[in-house]
Structure 1
Amino acid sequence: MAVKQECVFCKIVAKELPAKVIAENDTCLVIQDIAPKAPVHYLIIPKKHVTDISCLERGDANIPAAIFFMAQEWGAKLSGSGAFRLIVNNGTEVGQSVPHMHVHFVSGKKMTDF
């Protein structure tokens, strides 16, 4: 599994830094966001270091699938309606603050302001 030693998410995946782990499978890790923007705010992080969507390779097709299935699972667990929002910031210009691809899973309140 590709990791970057200086990457905070790689360190969390390697259990070198603490995080509140919500779920984990072979491909990704779900942690609680340290600065939540909604009552439920998780980060779904691929275990393989991929800087952003632009850096995904054809062989990484399992990563987006694993992320969507993890979101589906948590959406069903958290809400009878399964309502949630997924947010991907691809690049610093649009708010990506950690150079390791991740998806924000937010839920728990009405969000119609997009």
Structure 2
Amino acid sequence: MNDCIFCKIINNEIPSEAVLNTDDFMVVKDIAPKAPIHLLILPKKHILSLAEIEEGDQLLTGKMLYITKKLASKFGLTERGFKIVINTGPDGGQLVPHLHFHFLGGKKMAELA
């Protein structure tokens, strides 16, 4: 997608502070953090939202979830905990039409549900 801000970050057209970069996804620090640790897990494949994933995306989304364990360990959050947020669609609060996971931690997080 030519106008997707996350695709531009993934393609190094927009600077970001990368924490991890693999063949399948990139993890960057959020530019407007809502917690002391606020990362975005971005798949390199452009998928509009969680509602748009296909059967063939199961491995990719599984890897995205699995990496949260490694991020928790890297940032010392394994014991205290962390939050993963996936906003989907306009009513779900999704602002950028590119699937991404918010990884938040470093403080006690508010309960949502």
1:56 and 2:53 are equivalent in the alignment = yes
Residue aligned with 2:28, SS: strand
Q: What's the TM-score, normalizing by structure 1?
A: 0.92
Unmatched tracts of structure 2, length 5 or more: none
Measured in 2, the distance between the counterparts of 1:100 and 1:111 equals: 24
Deviations 1:66-109 (A, max 9, x none): 11121110101112516110000001112101000000000000
Paired residues of 1:75 and 1:82 also in contact (CA < 8 A): no
Identity %: 38
**How many corresponding residue pairs?**
111
Partner AA of 1:53 in structure 2: L
Deviations 1:17-39 (A, max 9, x none): 11111111111100000110000
Q: Runs in 1 of length 4+ with deviation above 3 angstroms?
A: none
Unmatched tracts of structure 1, length 5 or more: none
Q: What's the TM-score, normalizing by structure 2?
A: 0.92
1:100 pairs, out of 77, 90, 98, with 98
Q: Over aligned residues, Cα RMSD in angstroms? A: 1.2
> Structure 1 residues 74, 82: CA separation in 2 closer, same or farther (over 3 Å shift)?
farther
Matching residue of 2:30: 33
